[in-house]
Amino acid sequence: MLTEINFDGLIGPSHNYAGLSHGNLAATSNAGKTSRPREAALQGIAKMRANLALGLNQGILLPHARPDHAWLTALSTDYKSATPALKAQALSASAMWAANAATVSPAPDSQDGRCHLSVANLVTMPHRSHEWPGTLAQLRLAFANPAFAVHGPVPAPFGDEGAANHMRMANGHASPGIEIFVYGTAGGGFPARQRREASEAVARAHRLDPARTLFVEQSETAIAAGAFHNDVVAVANGPVLFAHELAFADRERFYADLTDRLPEAQIIEVPAAAVCLADAISSYLFNAQLVTLPDGDMALVLPEEARSNARVSGWLQLMIAGNGPIRQLKVVDVRESMANGGGPACLRLRVVADPATVDPRFLVNDQRLDQLAAVIERHWPETIDPNEIGNPALIADIENARIALLDAVGIVGLIDSLPSS
């Protein structure tokens, strides 16, 4: 039976605050601070436990090999000899934000009746541009069943940042949907990371019906304010779109096109007068998981920062007091991820599929999470000071921690299995 599975990126042992992501205000403002990889990963485990307690299906994607020695070799250097900037880029744990792993189109939307996944190239940011081989290796393993079609990346220079700039709306997860690709053209002083050409290429690869596919421009105002991905200012689930008033360049046209294709669509728009973009972005109000619970109610899984912001919290309480489709608020603590620029929605990749068709090593329950937590508590560094990333002992600890994790989950083959395309 088709259902939604949230695959969370397990936060890796090299999690640190190097401030590499231009346009991501949280990441750059915390550059140079001491990170807590062990605490970060355990916060991610707790978030997954909370989703399981809600009755949701939960999976994982695993940390990549860091430092990325293959990438450094391609740059004719090695970790010891690399500049500090290259060291930081090679060590980044940013693959934890699984929303950037791929774009996913469920089987009901594709002309061949398969679930399609296209790995994101992430070419805009150097520290993320070398993620796709490691991600593709995992996707090909997790979704090897013929029910899936896994595609390589869109070629450069057409930037593709995956599901963070993609939404799907439908009457139900198993029903044919409307796929919405959000792209940018300008962002003030910040880069627009998603190219329309990349989104169009993904839609073609996924064999989507053009009549049920929308390409929508993100507003320059939102990007310039720090909404480096669409999922910082909008999220969709089922027939519900939850978005900021300033999320899209031409919201009236978008809403008209959407309701024309999906008359059942329900649009919850947060007015800028009630919650300004600065509050929406700093609290990650929209970088929440909007999920359908087993009883049919919808819940918004929010970071603690959204509850702590008085204006955001006040608006949410008014929304819940009404008779709208979002009936519950669930708060999670992902402070370590938030400080590096990623909220609850950044940490997960949504896949609508039959769980029986997924490699079970990538699915979790409470017992499996207990096993992962034990590895993290034993092997993950407690802290990382960015000034210490050249320490050979730290690098050895990081590499050994990942090997211990892969051994525990029975996927040691990922150590050397990196595809070229």
| Residue 346: active-site member | yes
| Furthest-apart CA atoms within the chain: distance in Å | 60
Distance CA 140, CA 313 (A): 41
C-alpha–C-alpha distance, residues 260 and 290, integer Å: 23
Residue 143's contacts (CB-CB under 8 Å, 6 or more residues apart) are: 115, 117, 150, 351, 353, 357, 358, 359
161 is catalytic: yes
The active-site residue out of 4, 39, 131, 161 is 161
Catalytic residue among 116, 245, 346, 379: 346
Concerning whether 116 is annotated as a catalytic residue, the answer is no
Query: Which residue's structure tokens are 């909370």?
Result: 50
Q: Which of 229, 245, 336, 379 is catalytic?
A: 229
Active site residues: 161, 229, 346
